[in-house]
């Protein structure tokens, strides 16, 4: 499932292809499928109808590009969707989703033979980049179906790396969260839990947590958990206190992000559950970004919320890396949390 979701296309605002695929995974493990009018989708599983309602959601969208214009020579100028860093973009393969089908292209780059010493030390600005689809005129590009507004996403196969538990693929931010929601539903199949769970994924997180805002109004949860990814601090060049987590040491619980301070009682409840269940857990603090919990927690008079997920390397690029055991431990911990989250716990979470 993670492979299929990773390789599916779904830039922010254009999640339909991955949403349709994702729904096929939700349906067998849900009592009912629930959708809002913004593309978000969750599976509903009733444990106790009069228990707390819990929203557990990743986000379907990935960072991408948008066709802005076609030059007279047939090159594609683009607008970024979500947060890109220019240094990870040049010479990378992409696919343009047109009304006539998918077209492969490459973000063009000048060969080093033609670069002056000064140019080699300069960063190419995104506004100066273009995509080459192998045609020689605007008319040829239009004949293939390309037009302004078409979404563009990275091409990157999902592959196993040297450690058999470590995988690389595109859009792991946040197809890992989407897959987690499905696996929690699967783990609860036939199990008792003192609540009603809504587990699935939002849309347009990467452009401002937009789908989270519509979904939380649709579900009206008592408690929410945003499923997202963290930044692994175990690679060269990252200070150990800038990114606290590492691959293979357990899922992460965010103690701070740019969109939310987590409910402290909910934070402690998850930490205590991990300790009781002997499941490894890491903490992470990310000042430079937010999660869907940033919208969930402000719904109505307030929703106790946390953000939780897998640590990953190289997010917001063509390929990221994660550890499968972190994913599996995350599913196990969330399943245990759902089994314990009754009205007594909810009342405690609200008593701030």
What confidence tens digit (pLDDT) does each residue in 78-121 have?
999 999 999 999 999 999 999 999 999 999 988 888 778 888 87
Strand 64-70 to 101-107 pairing: unpaired
Candidates 15, 205, 284, 325; catalytic one = 205
- On whether 173 is known to bind a ligand per the annotation, the reply is yes
DSSP characters for 278-340?
Answer: T---EEEEETT---THHHHTTSTT---EEEEEEEEBS-SSS-EEEEHHHHHHHHHHHHHHHHH
Helix intervals (H) in the chain: 2-7, 16-26, 117-120, 138-143, 172-187, 210-219, 264-277, 293-296, 324-340, 343-350
- On whether 121 is known to bind a ligand per the annotation, the reply is no
For 36, phi then psi, to 5°, come to -95, -170
- On whether 206 is known to bind a ligand per the annotation, the reply is yes
- On whether 9 is known to bind a ligand per the annotation, the reply is no
Per-residue pLDDT tens for 270-320? 999 999 999 999 999 998 889 999 999 999 999 999 999 999 999 999 999
For 136, phi then psi, to 5°, come to -120, 5
Could you tell me how far CA 156 lies from the centroid of its own chain? 16
The domains of the chain, with CATH numbers, are 2-62+170-350 (3.40.630.10), 64-154 (2.40.30.40)
- On whether 239 is known to bind a ligand per the annotation, the reply is no
- pLDDT exceeds 80 at position 240: no
Gap between the Cα atoms of 219 and 227, Å rounded:
16
Per-residue pLDDT tens for 12-44? 999 999 999 999 999 999 999 999 999 999 999
DSSP 128: G
- Per-residue model confidence (pLDDT) at position 100: 97
pTM here is 0.96
- Per-residue model confidence (pLDDT) at position 110: 80
Residue 102 among the catalytic residues: no
Whether the Cβ atoms of residue 221 and residue 66 lie closer than 8 Å to each other: no
Give residue 123's pLDDT band: very low, low, confident or very high (50, 70, 90).
Answer: confident
Q: Name the percent of the chain lying above pLDDT 90.
A: 93
């Amino acid at each position: 499932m993670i492979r299929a979701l990773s390789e599916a296309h779904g830039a922010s605002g254009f999640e339909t292809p991955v949403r349709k695929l994702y729904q096929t995974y939700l349906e067998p493990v849900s009592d009912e499928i629930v959708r809002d009018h913004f593309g978000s989708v969750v599976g509903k599983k009733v444990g106790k109808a009069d228990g707390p309602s819990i929203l557990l959601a990743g986000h379907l969208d990935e960072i991408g590009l948008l066709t802005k214009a076609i030059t007279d020579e047939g090159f594609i100028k683009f607008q970024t969707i979500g947060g890109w860093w220019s240094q990870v973009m040049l010479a990378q393969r992409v696919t343009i989703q047109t009304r006539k089908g998918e077209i492969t292209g490459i973000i063009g780059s000048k060969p080093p033979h033609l670069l002056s010493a000064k140019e080699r030390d300069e960063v190419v600005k995104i506004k100066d980049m273009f995509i080459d689809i192998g045609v020689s005129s605007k008319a040829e590009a239009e004949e293939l179906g390309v037009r302004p507004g078409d979404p563009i996403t990275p091409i990157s196969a999902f592959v196993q790396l040297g450690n058999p538990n470590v995988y690389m693929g595109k859009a792991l931010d946040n197809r890992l969260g989407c897959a987690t929601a499905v696996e929690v539903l699967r783990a609860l199949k036939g199990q008792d839990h003192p609540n009603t769970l809504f587990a699935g994924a939002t849309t347009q997180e990467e452009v401002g947590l937009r789908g989270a805002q519509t979904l939380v109004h649709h579900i009206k949860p008592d408690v929410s958990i945003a499923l997202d990814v963290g930044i692994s601090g175990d690679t060269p060049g990252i200070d150990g206190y800038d990114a606290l987590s590492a691959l293979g040491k357990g899922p992460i619980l965010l103690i701070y992000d740019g969109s939310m301070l987590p409910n402290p009682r909910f934070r402690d409840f998850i930490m205590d559950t991990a300790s009781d269940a002997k499941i490894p857990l890491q903490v992470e603090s990310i000042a430079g970004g937010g999660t869907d919990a940033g919208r969930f927690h402000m719904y109505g008079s307030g929703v106790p919320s946390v953000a939780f997920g897998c640590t990953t390397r190289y997010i917001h690029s063509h390929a990221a890396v994660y550890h499968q055991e972190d994913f599996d431990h995350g599913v196990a911990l969330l399943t245990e949390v759902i089994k314990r989250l009754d009205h007594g716990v909810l009342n405690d979470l609200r008593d701030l």
